[in-house]
Structure 1
Amino acid sequence: MKLHIVPARTGITWVKSGIRVFWRQPMALSALFFLTMAAMSVATLLPLVGPVLALALLPSATLAMMVASAETMQGRAPTPAVLLTAFRAGRQRLRAMAVLGALYAAGFLLIIGVSALFDGGQFAQVYLGGAPLTQEVAESGAFQLAMWVAMLLYLPLSLLFWHAPGLVHWHGVPPVKSLFFSFVACVRNLGAFTVYGLAWLFVFALGGIAMSLISGLLAAMGLVSAPTVLGGTMVALAMMLAAMCFTSIVFTFRDCFEPPDATQAPEAPAALAETASE
């Protein structure tokens, strides 16, 4: 396995590639993303272990969207079966993904625990669904400080787990080593990932502005109720853009690492070996 160092402008290519591939199968990829989020939401309903289980499922959900993107690049329509990718790759890789999920849940809960030191756990309760987010709470200085601390600490956690599911699944890298390689790949390609993140922020902002203008225009024409259409369209847009973002993750993985050996990978992801100009 060899790490690639890519120029900063590659971040734009990742975003464009993710959007382009999404529109090859918009309904299928949107549905798959919705199903992954729904599965995690259902998991939170389980008593005691629900929220932890939902967190532990995130690496598997990320891998499912990566595989779905690879399927789309190969001209095949992804099916709900990709949601079980992590559970069908053999006992060894299943165990590795389970460890990865447990490590992610532990890391995230640690961050939430640290944030509680700054506001007595108010942000943690709101984030985990244990308390409502009121205007008074949102305007609290301690709450805002805890939120920013959590966001700052989440960044290195995100870098650790960004490539880890793909490394475990396609390269057979042990969980802890996959975290190290993922972090190094992200840091060594920090310019590209910075551009990538800023580009997605721009896309999300542009989409929000466009939907607000369209909703306002329709309301002004008396065709729909402004609050109703704005709320519905904003939720739908957010889900679609999030699906696009998850679709683009596979391109960051593909360009940061040598293509996996087809004899070692549980699947032969030929699309991952294609060039970034695809």
Structure 2
Amino acid sequence: MNLNTVSPKEAHTWIRQGIWLFKQNPLGFLMLIFMYIFIAQLAVLIPFIGVLAVLVLTPTLSVGFMTACRLAILKERILPTVYLAALKSTPLVRKRILQLGLVYAALVMILSFILSMLVDFELLLPLLMSDKVTTPEMIQEIYLLLFYGGLFYVPIAMLMWFSPVLVAWENMPIPQALFSSCIACWRNRGAFFLYLAIWGAVLVGIPLTIGLVFDVFGLSQVATFIVAPLSMAGLTVMHCSFFATWKACFADQESAELIA
């Protein structure tokens, strides 16, 4: 395993490779994303425990999706049970991947606590619980939430981007996996910045633009039927492109060229 440094323009290659991967088995990948969203929505209905369970299992599910990418390259069938790939591995890997989930859950809880001191969630509660018209104060708190949430989540994302795969596939101890993931993201920060900027435009900018255009003509309901499938497809391709970032940052050159 190598730790590679790539140029910022590699971000376009990651996205192109993600599209290529998605095209190998679009139904299989869409099934996995739909399953995750459905399970997460059900878990949220269970106060605290459900959310905690999703957070703890996030690294496990990440390894499962990356394993599905491997299967797609090999032209093999993708089944829902691929999400259990890490748990079906050796007892040591199974133990470490669940411990990594606890680390991730703890980091997100700490982030939530910090945000609660910076953002007035009580002001946003009516907006979350009903269709109440937003006030300028609400809009300000929403922007603060997005700004601080994104800012403080960056270190967590750097730690967790590659660590599940490093634990499951490279048999790394958790501290080493977290450190290696963070170093890989930092060394390739230019590529990751452009990569995330592009996906931000695709997953946020485009749907908002479509919604605004249809709202002008009083067709907001129609916009939903267009934005929903586009967002689902974009989210799935983005997850496929995670495998391309792994190949570019850690695989040797010959292995990295396995995908278009």
Which stretch shows the higher mean deviation, 43-52 or 115-124? Answer: 115-124
For 2:135, the equivalent position in structure 1 comes to 136
- How far 1:57 moved relative to its partner? 1.9
Alignment correspondent of 1:275: 257
Q: Is the 8 A contact 2:63 2:164 kept in 1?
A: yes
Give yes or no for contact 2:104–2:160 (8 Å, CA) kept in 1.
Answer: yes
- Kept in 1, the 8 Å contact 2:124–2:141? The answer is no
Residue ranges of structure 1 left out of the alignment (5+ in a row): 260-271
* 1:16-51 deviation line (CA, Å, top 9, x unaligned): 100121022111111111112222222223344111
Please name the residue that 1:175 is paired with: 174
Contact 1:5 1:256 in 2 (8 A): yes
Who is 2:88 aligned against?
Answer: 88
- Which amino acid in the other structure matches residue 190 of structure 2? G
CA drift at 1:120: 4.3
Paired AA for residue 273 in structure 1: S
1:136 Cα shift?
A: 3.2
Alignment partner, residue 235 of structure 1: 228
Matched with 2:51 is 51
CA contact (8 A) 1:123 1:143 kept: no
Determine if contact 2:55/2:105 at 8 Å carries over to the other structure: yes
SS at 1:172 equivalent:
coil
Query: 2:197 matched to which residue of 1?
Result: 198
- The farther-off stretch of 84-93 and 39-48 is 39-48
Normalised TM-score (structure 1): 0.81
- CA RMSD of the aligned region, Å? 3.0
1:126 and 1:276 mapped to 2: Cα distance?
A: 50
SS at match of 2:2: coil
Structure 2 residue aligned with 1:165: 164
Shift of 1:176: 2.0
Structure 2's unaligned 5+ residue stretches are none
Q: Give identity over the alignment, percent.
A: 24
1:251–1:276 CA contact under 8 A, matched in 2: no
Tell me, yes or no, if the aligned pair for 2:160 and 2:181 is still in contact at 8 Å: yes
In the TM superposition, structure 1's runs of 4+ consecutive aligned residues that sit over 6 Å from their partners are 123-127
Structure 1 residues 132 and 173: alpha-carbon distance in aligned structure 2, compared to 1, 3 A threshold: farther
Q: Is the 8 A contact 1:32 1:80 kept in 2?
A: yes
